[in-house]
């Protein structure tokens, strides 16, 4: 966490005091470190140094902020997108359409047309019918769409069931046993340039052996396709590498991942594509929050903070752990629950955890929230949409405004017929 560190007793993001950010922008607010993003991007690329032909695309869903995407574009990253909205985010961030892969199991006709018109570099097909439709949409525009077929290798990812994606029961990809026949048919379509395969077995993966199993299945499939006479030039290995959320956790470093990939893919002779999300952005962000109350509880006190499950959904959704730390830590700790103001018990960030002792008005952060933090925020309980700040050295800027509830009200309408028929 060297980009988030103590200076004179106050937690800083690089050289910017989080107390100053809170004063200036208010809380809750996400704060990202540009240095941490660059460091993670470079470490990932360095881990793959032995791989000659590669394309790295950031999974936009992890953090779609335009400033973040712009920074990663400057690091040579493309974008892995799953909606028209993500494509627009990445374009607005200055990324090139040809450096984008369009993944996702439910691309609409409109989204495929928009991506074809923008010149998106690759479509990752999830089912045969999608390929047939894409071919005809491309043909109607006088184009051929570059595509790869996503296979489902039916391997475990050893991760939370809600973010596992590579078992046959999951909705993703074509079962590897059927994929040969599907590939054969799709390869004949006039509007498609089918150039390889894709896979992505899940997220927050800690065991390289599971990824290796999946990649070996992909390698066997590539050999089988070539034996049938297909030319296979691209394999998209997806994302999924996990990060440590807790200081006691250990996850494989990008260098170990890169070494495994190099070993497994040595004789594939393809361009390898990568779609990391969490690994690039998670450690680069904190959620800065203020303690509203320390409320006495039956077993331990409830620290009620002004951030809630609508701002950071991961604990409520996946029982995820995010380290909680005071911005001005004293040497004291106490056992407490940490919860937000939303009216459900799931709005809890920590249960009976030993945390920095805090009191009403204190500032604190949740760590490792740069990925799947702001991107999953909502306005539940009619709360504001959380703002985002990017720090770079001693500079910082608001890169996403707080969307106040009043703005949300502007898009809602009282129908005349409802008002007119109201009882007097």
Among all chains, which residue has been given the structure tokens 């993944």? Answer: 103
Looking at the DSSP assignment, which residues form a beta bridge with residue 13?
A: 4, 16
DSSP 380: G
Question: What's the rounded Cα separation, in Å, for the pair 211 and 257?
Answer: 9
Strands 100-102 and 78-81: parallel
d(CA 186, CA 194): 7
The string of DSSP codes covering 220-252 is HHHHHHHHTT----EEE----B---SSTT----
- State the minimum distance, in angstroms, from the CB of residue 103 to ligand LLP: 4
CB of 376 to ligand LLP, least distance (A): 6
Q: What angle do CA 250, 256, 258 make, to 5 degrees?
A: 135
> Would you call 398 exposed, middle or buried from its count of C-beta atoms within 10 A (0-12, 13-18, 19+)?
middle
Q: What is the DSSP letter of 387?
A: P
Nearer to ligand LLP, 240 or 340 (CB): 240
Quote the least distance from Cβ 198 to ligand LLP, whole Å. Answer: 8
CB of 126 to ligand LLP, least distance (A): 10
Q: Which two tokens stand for residue 282?
A: 């998670």
Q: Are 216 and 199 in contact (CB under 8 A)?
A: no
146 catalytically annotated = no
Please report how close the Cβ of residue 136 comes to ligand LLP at its closest, in angstroms. 24
Q: Tell me whether residue 313 or residue 390 sits nearer to ligand LLP (CB atom).
A: 313
Number of CB atoms found within 10 A of residue 304's CB: 18
**Of 298, 307, 295, nearest in space to 359 by CA:** 295
Active-site entry in 52, 169, 298, 343: 343
Which residue, 198 or 326, is less far from ligand LLP as judged by CB? Answer: 198
Q: What angle do CA 230, 231, 237 make, to 5 degrees?
A: 105
Q: Which of 276, 370 has the CB closer to ligand LLP?
A: 276
Which one, 62 or 155, has the nearer CB to ligand LLP? 62
* Spatial CA neighbour of 347 closest among 382, 304, 398: 304
Give the residue carrying structure tokens 């999946």. Answer: 214
* Helices 34-47 & 254-265 angle (0-180, nearest 10): 30
User: How many other CB atoms are there within 10 angstroms of residue 234's CB atom?
Assistant: 20
Q: Residue 30 or 372: which CB sits closer to ligand LLP?
A: 372
Q: How far is the CB of 17 from ligand LLP (least distance, A)?
A: 28
Nearer to ligand LLP, 183 or 372 (CB): 372
What minimum distance in Å lies between the beta carbon of 3 and ligand LLP? 19
Residues in the site for ligand LLP, rule: CB under 6 A? 59, 62, 80, 103, 163, 200, 203-204, 238-241, 275-279, 314, 318, 372
Rg (CA), the chain: 23
Q: Which two tokens mark 369?
A: 């929230």
Nearer to ligand LLP among residue 318 and residue 321 (C-beta): 318
For 84-107, give one letter per residue: b (16+ CB within 10 A) or e: bebbebbbebebebebbbbbbeeb
CB-based contacts of 384, cutoff 8 Å, min separation 6: 402, 403, 404, 405
Residues marked as catalytic = 343
């Amino acid at each position: 966490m060297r980009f988030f560190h103590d200076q004179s007793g106050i937690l800083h993001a690089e050289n910017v005091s989080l107390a100053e950010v809170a004063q200036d922008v208010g809380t809750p607010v996400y704060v990202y470190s540009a240095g941490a993003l660059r460091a993670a991007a470079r470490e990932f690329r360095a881990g793959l140094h032995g791989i000659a032909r590669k394309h790295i695309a950031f999974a936009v869903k992890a953090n779609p902020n335009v400033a973040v995407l712009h920074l990663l574009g400057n690091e040579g990253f493309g974008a892995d997108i799953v909606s028209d909205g993500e494509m627009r985010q990445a374009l607005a961030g200055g990324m090139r359409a040809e450096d984008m892969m369009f993944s996702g199991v439910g691309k609409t006709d409109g989204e495929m047309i928009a991506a074809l018109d923008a010149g998106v570099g690759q479509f990752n097909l999830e089912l045969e019918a999608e390929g047939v439709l894409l071919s005809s949409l491309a043909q109607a525009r006088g184009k051929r769409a570059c595509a790869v077929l996503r296979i489902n290798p039916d391997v475990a990812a050893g991760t939370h069931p809600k973010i596992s994606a590579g078992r046959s029961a999951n909705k993703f990809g074509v079962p590897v046993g059927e994929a040969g026949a599907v590939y054969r048919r799709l390869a004949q379509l006039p509007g498609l340039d089918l150039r390889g395969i894709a896979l992505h077995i899940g997220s927050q993966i800690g065991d390289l052996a599971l990824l290796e199993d999946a990649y070996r299945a992909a390698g066997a499939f590539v050999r089988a396709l070539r034996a049938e006479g297909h030319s296979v030039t691209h394999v998209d290995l997806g994302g999924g590498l996990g990060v440590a959320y807790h200081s006691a956790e250990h996850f494989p470093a990008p260098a170990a991942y890169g070494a495994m990939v190099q070993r497994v893919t040595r004789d594939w002779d393809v361009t390898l594509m990568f779609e990391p999300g969490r690994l690039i952005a998670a450690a680069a962000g904190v959620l800065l929050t203020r303690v509203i109350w320390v409320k006495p509880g039956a077993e331990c006190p409830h620290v009620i903070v002004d951030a809630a499950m609508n701002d950071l959904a991961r604990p409520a959704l996946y029982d995820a752990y995010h380290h909680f730390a005071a911005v001005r830590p004293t040497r004291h700790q106490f056992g407490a629950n940490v919860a937000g103001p939303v009216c459900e018990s799931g709005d809890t960030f920590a249960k009976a955890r030993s945390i920095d002792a805090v009191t009403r008005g204190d500032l604190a952060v949740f760590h490792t929230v740069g990925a799947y933090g702001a991107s999953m925020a909502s306005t539940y309980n009619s709360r504001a949409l959380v703002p985002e700040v990017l720090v770079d050295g001693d500079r910082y800027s608001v890169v996403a405004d707080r969307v106040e509830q009043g703005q949300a009200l502007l898009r809602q309408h009282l129908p005349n017929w409802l008002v007119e028929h109201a009882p007097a």
